[in-house]
Amino acid sequence: MPVEMARADFGKVFNELCHLVALSRTSKIPQVVESLVQRALVYGTPPDAYDAQTISRWVAKQYGAAIPASEVEFALDGLVRAGAASRPAGHFLLTESRKAGVQRVVEKARELETRVRAEWLSELHDREIASRVEHERLWACLRAYMLRVLRRHGALAAHVLNPSVPTESGVAGDLNTFLAEAGSESGIHSSEAGGVRQAVNLFFEEPSGDRTAYIAQHLDAAFTFFALSEPDSTAAYLRGQMQPLDVLVDTNFVLDLLFGGEDDHIAVELVSFVRDNKLPIRLLYHERTRRELSATLSAIGANLRRRHWSQSLSRAHLREHRGGGVLRKYHELNAKCPTDPDVFMGRYENHLTEELRTFGIEACVPSDREPEADERRHLLVAEYQAFVKEHRPDKEKRYETADHDIAVWLAVQERRRKGATSTLESGALFLSNDQFFRFFDDKVLRGLHSVTVVLPRTLLQVLRPFATPSGDYDRRFVKAFAAAEFRTAHSDYEKTTAELMSHLAAFGDLPEETAVKVLGDELLRTRLEKVRGTDDAGKLVRDKVIDLNASLVAERDASRELLSAEESEATDLRRHVKLAFRTSRRRFSASGSGGRCR
C-alpha cells in the first residue's frame, strides 16, 4: 500500500475500525478477509456488482486494505460452502440471517461507542471538567487524538512484521504535539490545554469494562489496518509457529521492571505475558547494560543519600506525583515508615543480578565474533551523536549512553539469522523504551534488514495472537498501553520532580500542605525545566516556599483576626443573652410575686 494511501484511508475509516475482525483476536487472516467481504456484501455496491474484483476494489477504497481478488474469491467460496451466501447469476449474495448478523455486529459496536461517550462525558460533568458545550468539542478532540496515537501504534506493530510498512515518519510522535493538533482541529483554544489533558487522561485511567473493550478493539484494528497492507507476510506470520527469539533488554526497560508503579507496568506485563504463554523467548541482558545499570543505581543512590527525607515530604510526593521510578518507590516506603536510603538502595546495588533473575532475565553469553571495541562501533557512535544533533539539538546524548546503545545493537546483529525480513523471524531484537534510538535504527542502521529496536508496547501488540486470553486480558493490555503512552510525554516532568523534591528536602521537616502546593505548581515546573541543574533552580524553589510561607502566615493572621472578631462577637452575644435572660427573669419574678400579694 502506498504511504499516501495508508495515511489518508486510516483517517477516513477510523470510525469503522472497531467493526473489523482484528488480527490479534482471531489469529487467522482468512477470518479478517471474510469479515471485510461480508461488510462489502451488506454495505457496498449494488447486488448486481457483487463479484470478487468489485469487492476487492471496494475494500481498498473503504479501508485501504490491499486484499487480492483471489483471496476475496476464496472467502466468498467459503461463505457459499457454509450456507451463508449464494451465487445467483455469478454474483454473490449473503443470506438474510447472515446479513442481519453483520448488521448486529456493526450496531453493537456503535452502541458501545455511544455508551463510552456518554459515560466519559458524565464523568467530566461530575468532576466539573469543562462545560456542557465544551464536552462536544472534547469528544471530537479525544477522537482526533486517538486517531494519531493509534495510527502510530498500529504502524509500528505492523512494521515489526514487515519493514516495508510505513511508520509515519517523525522522531517519536510526541504526544503533546498530538494533543495540541487534536485540540486545534476540534476548535479548542490553547488556553484550555490543561483541561483537555485532564479530560484525555481521565479517559485512559482506570477505564470501565466498556471503555476497555472500546480501546482494545481500536488498538487491534489499527494493527489490522497496517498489517493488511502486506497480506502475504501477515498471513505467514499468523499461520506459522513462533521461532526462538533472544531479546536483549535495555537499561530503561530494566528500571521499569524494578521500579515501575502500578499505573506504569508495561514491562511487568510483557515479562508476564512471555512467561504465562510459554513463548520461545529468552530475556537477556548484555554486560554493558549491567554496568550501565550499576552506574545508574549508584548515581540514584548518591542523590537519595544526599538529603534527609521527612515522611511529610514523602506523603506530599505521593499525593502529587503518579507513575513509577526509584524516587516514587522510595517515598512509598518512607511515607509508611522512616526508611534509610542505604537500606533501600542496597537491595538493588548489591544484588542486581539476583533481582534480574527473579524476572527471568539472564546474562547473555558474549559471542566470539561480538565487535566490542572495534572501529565500526566508534564510527556508529559518532554517526548516532551527529543524528541526535541534527534531529534533537535541544537534548544531547552522552557518549557513554550512545556507546552502550550501539554496543548492544551490534551484539544483537551477531545473533540474528541472515536474510530474515521479519523481526520475529530474525532470532534477536533489542527491547528499549528509547523512541529516538528506535527512530535511528529504522532510518539509519536498519538498511535492508528487519527492525532491531522494538518498543515494549509494540512487541506486546505483535505477540497478542500467540496469547491464551484470560478474563482480564484486554484490561491489562489497555492499561499497559495507555500508561506507556502517557509516560513518554512526561519523561522531563519526572526529572523536574526529582530536582524539585531534592530542593524541598533542604528545608527539613517542611509542612506537608506546603510541599503539596509547591509540587503542584505547574508554572513553577515550567520555569524550573528551563534552569534545571543550575543555582537558579534552587533560588526559584526557595522563593516559592518563602512566598507560600508568607501567604500561609498572612492567611493564619487573617484567620486569627477573623476568629478573634468572631469570638468577640460571640462574647457580646452571650452577654446580651445573659442580660436579656436576667431582665426577663426579674420581670417574671415581679409579676409572679405581685399576683400572690393580691
Any idea which of 48-52, 64-68, 330-334, 543-547 has the lowest mean pLDDT?
Answer: 64-68
Contact present, 442 and 169 (Cβ < 8 Å): no
**Distance from C-alpha of 468 to C-alpha of 579, rounded to nearest angstrom:** 83
Q: What pLDDT score was predicted for residue 125?
A: 83
Helix, strand, coil % in the chain, rounded to nearest 5:
70, 5, 25
Q: What pLDDT score was predicted for residue 291?
A: 95
Of 38 and 504, the structure prediction assigns the larger pLDDT to 38
User: Alpha carbon of 103 to those of 38, 56, 106, 128: distances in Å?
Assistant: 10, 20, 5, 37
**Helix and strand element counts for the chain (H, E):** 28, 7
Q: What is the pLDDT of residues 487-519, one digit of tens each?
A: 444 444 566 777 777 777 777 667 777 777 777
| Mean pLDDT, rounded, for 71-97 | 87
Residues 450, 453, 458, 462: is their CA dihedral positive or negative?
Answer: positive
Is residue 117 predicted with pLDDT exceeding 80?
A: yes
Neighbours of 41 (CB within 10 A): 24
User: Alpha carbon of 415 to those of 409, 410, 431, 439: distances in Å?
Assistant: 10, 9, 14, 21
**Distance from C-alpha of 106 to C-alpha of 454, rounded to nearest angstrom:** 34
Is residue 292 predicted with pLDDT exceeding 90?
A: yes
| Mean pLDDT, rounded, for 447-461 | 84
Picking from 63, 59, 34, the residue whose alpha carbon sits closest to that of residue 44 is 59
**Distance from C-alpha of 441 to C-alpha of 564, rounded to nearest angstrom:** 70
Return the H-helix or E-strand segment holding 93. Answer: strand 93-94
Contact present, 526 and 532 (Cβ < 8 Å): no
| Mean pLDDT, rounded, for 32-60 | 80
Q: What pLDDT score was predicted for residue 558?
A: 65
**Distance from C-alpha of 79 to C-alpha of 77, rounded to nearest angstrom:** 5
Q: What angle do helix axes 491-505 and 512-519 make, rounded to 10 degrees?
A: 150
Contact present, 152 and 173 (Cβ < 8 Å): yes
**Distance from C-alpha of 423 to C-alpha of 2, rounded to nearest angstrom:** 22
Contact present, 461 and 153 (Cβ < 8 Å): yes
Partners of 245 in beta bridges: 281
Average pLDDT of the chain is 78
Of 130 and 451, the structure prediction assigns the larger pLDDT to 451
Q: What is the pLDDT of residues 141-154, one digit of tens each?
A: 888 888 888 777 77
Q: What is the pLDDT of residues 308-322, one digit of tens each?
A: 888 888 888 777 766
Of 130 and 169, the structure prediction assigns the larger pLDDT to 130
Is residue 34 predicted with pLDDT exceeding 70?
A: yes
Q: What is the pLDDT of residues 470-489, one digit of tens each?
A: 556 666 667 666 655 544 44
Extract the C-alpha cell encoding 268.
Answer: 511487568
Of 417 and 486, the structure prediction assigns the larger pLDDT to 417
Q: What pLDDT score was predicted for residue 154?
A: 78
Q: What pLDDT score was predicted for residue 440?
A: 92
Q: What is the pLDDT of residues 331-359, one digit of tens each?
A: 888 889 899 989 889 888 899 999 999 99
User: Alpha carbon of 306 to those of 277, 303, 488, 502, 506: distances in Å?
Assistant: 44, 5, 28, 9, 10
Q: What pLDDT score was predicted for residue 487?
A: 46
Q: What is the pLDDT of residues 231-271, one digit of tens each?
A: 566 666 666 667 899 999 999 999 988 887 654 578 888 99
Is residue 30 predicted with pLDDT exceeding 80?
A: no
Running DSSP on this structure, what letter comes out for residue 17? G
Partners of 428 in beta bridges: 246
Is residue 460 predicted with pLDDT exceeding 80?
A: yes
**Distance from C-alpha of 380 to C-alpha of 386, rounded to nearest angstrom:** 10
Of 468 and 306, the structure prediction assigns the larger pLDDT to 306
Q: What is the pLDDT of residues 539-582, one digit of tens each?
A: 887 777 777 777 666 655 666 666 766 677 777 777 777 777 67
Collapsing DSSP states into helix, strand and coil, what is residue 591? helix
Strands across the sheet with 453-454, in order?
Answer: 361-363, 281-285, 245-249, 428-431, 453-454
Q: What pLDDT score was predicted for residue 25?
A: 55
**Distance from C-alpha of 7 to C-alpha of 5, rounded to nearest angstrom:** 5
Return the H-helix or E-strand segment holding 283. Answer: strand 281-285
Partners of 94 in beta bridges: 85
Is residue 50 predicted with pLDDT exceeding 60?
A: yes
**Distance from C-alpha of 516 to C-alpha of 510, rounded to nearest angstrom:** 10
Contact present, 175 and 149 (Cβ < 8 Å): yes
SS3 labels along 366-429? CCCCCCCCCHHHHHHHHHHHHHHHHHCCCCCCCHHHHHHHHHHHHHHHHCCCCCCCCHHHHCEE
**Cβ neighbours for 327, distance < 8 A, ≥ 6 positions apart:** 304, 317, 321, 494, 497, 498, 501
Is residue 5 predicted with pLDDT exceeding 50?
A: no
Q: pTM of the predicted model, to two decimals? A: 0.70
Q: What pLDDT score was predicted for residue 1?
A: 38
Partners of 387 in beta bridges: none
Of 99 and 588, the structure prediction assigns the larger pLDDT to 99
Percent of the chain scoring above 70 in pLDDT: 74
**Residue 320: exposed, middle, or buried by beta-carbon count in 10 A (0-12, 13-18, 19+)?**
middle
Picking from 346, 373, 356, 372, the residue whose alpha carbon sits closest to that of residue 285 is 356
Extract the C-alpha cell encoding 585.
Answer: 427573669
| Mean pLDDT, rounded, for 370-379 | 72
